[in-house]
Copies of this chain bind each other. A is one copy, B any other.
């Protein structure tokens, strides 16, 4: 499992996106080809995220447990692993002990 350690040649927005009182913090980036992503971290917490656009969450550090909306099973994802979330949906995520670092790919 390879881990995306960095993105080159991107535009980064200096102001962070702060969700859930800071339990999730991300910075938005735009790749040279115009693709938008975010790089972020979720601190130990149990959170529910709603999606607008479909998302692929790629782990780059730590791990998490995830339950997609409408499913009963939790699955664990670590660095180098990804999970896909449909648009206009939601997912529960639990992070314990160590922060979970991710890249969020949209669309």
Residues of chain A touching chain B, judged by Cβ–Cβ distance below 8 Å, are 3-16, 18, 21-23, 25, 27, 29, 39-41, 43, 60-61, 99, 101, 103
Instruction: Give how many copies assemble into the complex.
Output: 2
In the bound complex, do residue A21 and residue B43 qualify as a contact, i.e. CB atoms below 8 Å apart?
A: yes
For the complex of A and B, list the 6 residue pairs with the smallest distance between their C-beta atoms, beginning with the closest. Answer: A16-B41, A22-B43, A25-B25, A14-B60, A15-B101, A15-B61
In the bound complex, do residue A9 and residue B7 qualify as a contact, i.e. CB atoms below 8 Å apart?
A: no
In the bound complex, do residue A103 and residue B14 qualify as a contact, i.e. CB atoms below 8 Å apart?
A: yes
In the bound complex, do residue B9 and residue A5 qualify as a contact, i.e. CB atoms below 8 Å apart?
A: no
Q: How far is the CB of A35 from chain B (nearest CB, A)?
A: 14
Q: Which of B3, B6, B22, B23 contacts A12 (CB 8 A)?
A: B6
